Amino acid sequence: MFRVATLLALLLVLLAGCERPEAGPPNMMPEILGALQITDSQERDTALAQACRHAAEQGSAPAVMMGLPRIDNVTLRDTVAADCAEVLNEAGQSAAAEDVARLISDETKRNAALAEVGAGGD
């Protein structure tokens, strides 16, 4: 009986002393992958734009970086990239925001986005 009580006490001490790891952003890859399955390019671009924006709002920069280059419509891709860079920057992810801003193909828009995230132009 003493042995069981000692083991239980030890287990409680160990569990109480363990800090839970800080949870990162939710995994937004399934949303990006789902959008990529759409065969119609216009619908796929719209779904990817929505998924990338949602991923940025959730702080999931890797999902944004995966989805953005797969948006075929250049104008839409540049707009979504600028939006996502701004959201990530506001969330304190300045390095990710800079990476996303660098995906903007229009040089003027890219430089403006880079200036906004504090990276300066090319």
User: Distance between CA atoms of 53 and 111, rounded to whole angstroms?
Assistant: 20
Q: Rounded to 5 degrees, what are φ and ψ at 26?
A: -65, 155
pTM: 0.78
Question: DSSP class of residue 23?
Answer: P
CB-based contact 68:52 (threshold 8 Å): yes
Contact residues for 72 (Cβ-Cβ < 8 A; gap 6+): 41, 44, 45
Residue 68 has a pLDDT of 97
pLDDT tens, N- to C-terminus, the chain (122 residues): 667 667 666 666 666 655 556 666 778 899 999 999 999 999 999 999 999 999 999 999 999 999 999 999 999 999 999 999 999 999 999 999 999 999 999 999 999 999 999 865 55
